[in-house]
Amino acid sequence: MPACAGSLRLLADETRLRILHLLEREPLTVAELTEVLHLGQSSISGHLSKLKQAGLVHDVAEGSAHRYRMRDDAPEAIRPVWQAARQLSAQDPAIATDAAALDRHRAASGRDWVSRVAGLLHREYAPGRTWDSLAHAFAAAGRFGRCCDIGAGDGALAGLIASSSTELTCVDPSPAMIAAGRLRCTEGGLGNVRWLEASGEHLPLPDGSQDTVLLLQSLQYVEKPAAVLGECGRILASHGRLLVLTLAEHDHAESARYGHRHRGFRDADLRTWVRSWCNRPRIIRLPPEARAPRFQALVMTADKP
């Protein structure tokens, strides 16, 4: 109860609510908030400090100033409290007045959206510029040829992959996933997709029959990852490519709730497991996720001579 009471007290303050509504519109500096809200800088800074401590906002250095923005990974304890307070306060006249004041401030400053996000575009939302749309765009430009997706699950990515494949073989050991995937592909009219119920360690595919093999966040589920990567090399045709998206080695117990058999992988192990058929795999570590516990993904590509 004390934690809940603290969250309620935090969001019962009118100024903090006004600040949060403004930051939902766009990231702002202390100076900009001071200009829009007509409050002192020390007062704004004090409120931002409390919101930052609660995990609702964070700041990014921008020259000599700091730009504050809403967090996507706010703690579970305060997230529903903010959503409730947001809904209750959204129609308050002060919120609309602040939004109009922000628009006037932007017009007077002469800085358009493009100028404001220069250097920060990777953090900002732009209409249509989502990871989903970018993935579809890159997949459409790809050429997978005869493609095998190991651990395909229920075919959530089949539509994305099939459009760039001459034929797509989806492999998964779960009968339920296979059934759901077949239904998804039938309803989506994907005629170049076939489904095989099998483990990654024993793929029912001929040697050299695939141009591309995919392991998209599925390697951590298999029992013997070294055997799976060996099978990938066996079924790949000459000049074929393996693409692995998986988790880097970690110590997060949360992975158990998702059924992971392995807590990620070391670069050295991945290189060793493909050494029998690929001399120079390429591994790229992606930035840790913003959401706690901050899993880190890695990408490995391995080309068969």
The residues with which 70 forms a beta bridge, in sequence order, are: 57
Nearest to 244 by CA among 177, 145, 142, 150: 150
Q: Among the CATH numbers 1.10.10.10, 3.40.140.10, 1.25.40.10, 3.20.20.70, which is that of 2-123?
A: 1.10.10.10
- Name the pairing type of β-strands 236-247 and 297-303: antiparallel
Both tokens of 222, joined, read 């298999």
Both tokens of 66, joined, read 């700091």
**Measured in whole angstroms, how far is the alpha carbon of residue 174 from the centre of its chain?**
25
pLDDT in tens, 171-205: 999 999 999 999 999 999 999 999 999 999 999 99
pTM over 0.85: no
Mean pLDDT of the chain: 90
Task: Classify domain 131-303 at the CATH topology level.
Answer: Rossmann fold (3.40.50)
pLDDT above 50 for 224? yes
List the chain domain ranges: 2-123, 131-303
- What average pLDDT does the segment 89-97 reach? 93
Q: Which residues contact 206 (CB under 8 A, 6 or more apart)?
A: 235
Work out the number of other CB atoms within 10 angstroms of the CB of residue 186: 11
pLDDT above 60 for 1? no
**How many residues are present in the chain?**
305
Rg of the chain, C-alpha, whole Å = 25
